Structure 1
Amino acid sequence: MPGPYSFQPEGRIGDATLSPATDPRFNPKLVKALATQGWENNLPIGIADENSPLEQLTKEMRAQHYGFSEGFAAIPNYLAKDVNEPPVDRKTHVAQGVDGNHVKLYVFRKSGTEDQVLPCVVYIHGGGMTTLDTLRPGNVRWLTDLAQQGVVSIAIDFRNAWSETEYNPFPAGLNDCAAAVRYIASHKDELGIGKITLEGESGGANLCLATALKANQEGWIKDIDGVYAYSPNVCNVYGWPAERIAREFPSRLANDGYMFDTAGAGAMQSYYAPNIQDRTHPIAFPYYATVEMCRGLPPHIIRVDELDPLRDEGIAYYRKLCSAGVDAVGSVNLGVTHGSMVLFRRAISELHSAGMREIVGFAKSL
């Protein structure tokens, strides 16, 4: 017999017509900000998916890179108080990559702190490991805010899988991140830093988690003191039946199209890992790491967004860390979608500030 209570599944599982403009779970401030870019409606399906040939995937990655770069740059992120903020110095260091390449490191430090040893937050930017520029305006703002809070923030200019000049699939970008972290750890005195925290959102969070797993496997995990992964993109569901996705990651269905569509994500992940066997490789997509691989990792914070298609895979990875005995904390930003804490500094300044306090507090506590 049916139970006494009626139940409607969340989001677009229960009502396929929902969009950010009509889903009652959305923070109204975010809906207003999304509308400035036409993102209050669900994203249209792109020209490629996970099964598309490489040529078509390349066209899709190019379209995503320029489309999102333009959209993100148009989002107002400056606050009135920024006019009076203290200056932040920026320097560039160069690490040697494993492929004979050079990996630039952009170091942000609050002026006047040169004689202090400060905690270090190593920032790895989002973009599905595939697109977006390291020093796009929103990232510079994020790095500046971190430095203003009393840490040295360092951005890794890793190789995206897509670029106008060359194709750099897995593990190129991850290798760059690992080389950069090892460089930073071996130049602490020169950089004036103490403990090292890896921090990133989306694809950058993937690379933070994967770098820690790689370090654990290779025996240099002591170079990393903590990991902060926000909205992590950690699972390639290539070949999964719809029933499995619905069971394990319902957020991919409930929040599909909310500034982030799962077909586009699948295309990006397949472009990043063109070899099918790599699509379940633990350091390509950390969801596939075993509990044993996670043992011995440093403290982690996993923060996800309620209305993000990727929400549930981040939660799943948090639970795996706990099973491995890692000191891990997980939390959910209610009422917002993918990456809002980074992207909407002005529109939801309270969320941005809360994220800053948590990241900097975590880095200083290690």
Structure 2
Amino acid sequence: MPLHPEIAKALAAMPAPPPGPLNPEAMRAGEESQVPPVADRLPLHSVEDLTAHTAAGNVPLRVYTPDEADAYGLLVYFHGGAFFLGSLETHDHVARSLAKETGLKVVSVGYRRAPEHAFPAGLDDCYAAVRWAAENGEALGWDSTTLALAGDSSGGTFVAAVSGMARDDGFDRITHQVMFYPSLDLDFDVDRYASLRDNAVGYGLETAGLKPFNAFYIDSGADPADPRVSPIKRADLAGLPPALIITGELDPLRDEGELYGRRLQDAGVDATVSRYAGAGHGFVQHFSWIPEYHRAYAETRDFLAR
């Protein structure tokens, strides 16, 4: 299927990137400038910023309560952005939609980013935030049932990595993992996956951009051979939480996400892989206003309710 016409129209209207090396500060400022004012965001019962005091340090969180209830299941959300972009603000709309559609209380994690913070700072923050949420369940109104993880793109990397770390540590409270078009193999050899070639140009994220965009993370000490960096390289996937992996048909990262899903299934994990036609990378963040792609939230809701 060709690229969805609304996505194609948006990509055609995007200005060309400035020449020269990537500038994290300028790119972050550009992202933040696009965030709508609070008054224009999806309303919820409450949205609260707080700081979790964890073994990894103080981690900023934003807690989204969808409606008034006695107790809630929890969903801990890790935003995407190639490990150096994205924030609580740029992905606020994703967290709000997750809370609204699933009925869970969402805890969004403002983890440390490259290049200012070397690996594994961001990953440690994410794992520490999950442990903190479980340990502070009473204050969060947790019903002690669902403790799900969700993340998009590099946030999906963290979901898979944290799930593996938790299993290794014997921390068994994570009930589900949801990954939207995750980056699961940071070895960007174009011969590794057909989608890196088939979807290389013209669909938003381009294969040639993968190395420079992820260089800040890799140069900070993230070794692509390490399963915490490339979760697909984890040898034993048995015992991981049930997984939902949502991919885009025209995303260069499509095949690694779908292969990870098959490997989870082969290891006996309840894993669902769902490919969205006509979609490139980032469609949940940027194009969930299109009904076909807003369905990803409903699919997440149904998966978490199983």
Q: Does the pair score TM above 0.5?
A: yes
Matches within 5 A, 1:53-132: 59-70=22-33, 73=34, 87-99=44-56, 101-113=57-69, 115=70, 117-132=71-86
Of structures 1 and 2, the one with the larger relative CO (CA 8 A, separation 6+) is: 1
Deviation, structure 1 residue 133: 1.7
The residue number in structure 2 matching 1:142 is 94
Query: C-alpha offsets along residues 135-161 of structure 1, whole Å, 9 cap, x if unaligned?
Result: 22xx22222222223211110110011
The residue number in structure 1 matching 2:139 is 190
Letter in 1 for 2:68: G
SS at match of 1:273: helix
Deviation, structure 1 residue 119: 1.9
CA RMSD between the two structures? 2.6
SS at match of 2:219: coil
- Give the conservation status (yes or no) of the 8 Å contact 1:270–1:279: no
Deviation, structure 1 residue 302: 0.8
Letter in 2 for 1:147: A
Distance in 1 between residues matched to 2:279 and 2:246, nearest whole Å = 12
Structure 2: which 5+ runs fail to align? Answer: none
Distance in 2 between residues matched to 1:45 and 1:32, nearest whole Å = 21
Q: 1:219 aligns with which of 156, 167, 170?
A: 170
Distance in 1 between residues matched to 2:241 and 2:180, nearest whole Å = 16
- Give the conservation status (yes or no) of the 8 Å contact 2:79–2:155: yes
Deviation, structure 1 residue 278: 1.6
The residue number in structure 2 matching 1:30 is 7
Distance in 1 between residues matched to 2:297 and 2:26, nearest whole Å = 31
Deviation, structure 1 residue 26: 1.1
Letter in 2 for 1:307: L
Matches within 5 A, 1:1-366: 25-38=2-15, 47=20, 59-70=22-33, 73=34, 87-99=44-56, 101-113=57-69, 115=70, 117-136=71-90, 139-149=91-101, 150-162=103-115, 167-194=116-143, 195-220=146-171, 222-237=172-187, 240=189, 245-246=190-191, 248-257=192-201, 258-274=203-219, 278-290=223-235, 292=236, 294-346=237-289, 348-352=290-294, 354-365=295-306
Q: How many residues align?
A: 301
Letter in 1 for 2:93: R
Deviation, structure 1 residue 273: 2.3
Structure 1: which 5+ runs fail to align? Answer: 1-23, 49-58
Distance in 1 between residues matched to 2:44 and 2:206, nearest whole Å = 38
Deviation, structure 1 residue 69: 4.9
Deviation, structure 1 residue 181: 0.1
Is the alpha carbon distance of 1:69 and 1:104 closer, same or farther for their aligned partners in structure 2, counting shifts above 3 Å?
closer
SS at match of 1:126: coil
- Give the conservation status (yes or no) of the 8 Å contact 2:118–2:221: no
Distance in 1 between residues matched to 2:65 and 2:220, nearest whole Å = 40
- Give the conservation status (yes or no) of the 8 Å contact 1:61–1:130: yes
Deviation, structure 1 residue 345: 2.9
Query: C-alpha offsets along residues 296-343 of structure 1, whole Å, 9 cap, x if unaligned?
Result: 101001110011111111112112211211110101001010011221
Deviation, structure 1 residue 269: 2.5
**Normalised by the size of structure 2, how large is the TM-score?**
0.89
Deviation, structure 1 residue 29: 2.2
Deviation, structure 1 residue 92: 2.7
Distance in 2 between residues matched to 1:281 and 1:118, nearest whole Å = 35
Which segment is superposed worse, 328-337 or 266-275? Answer: 266-275
- Give the conservation status (yes or no) of the 8 Å contact 2:55–2:128: yes
SS at match of 1:106: strand
Is the alpha carbon distance of 1:109 and 1:224 closer, same or farther for their aligned partners in structure 2, counting shifts above 3 Å?
same
**Normalised by the size of structure 1, how large is the TM-score?**
0.75
Letter in 1 for 2:303: F
Distance in 2 between residues matched to 1:330 and 1:233, nearest whole Å = 14
Is the alpha carbon distance of 1:214 and 1:87 closer, same or farther for their aligned partners in structure 2, counting shifts above 3 Å?
closer
Q: Percent identity?
A: 30
Distance in 2 between residues matched to 1:46 and 1:305, nearest whole Å = 28
Deviation, structure 1 residue 277: 7.5
Is the alpha carbon distance of 1:45 and 1:234 closer, same or farther for their aligned partners in structure 2, counting shifts above 3 Å?
farther
Structure with greater Cα Rg: 1
Deviation, structure 1 residue 111: 3.8
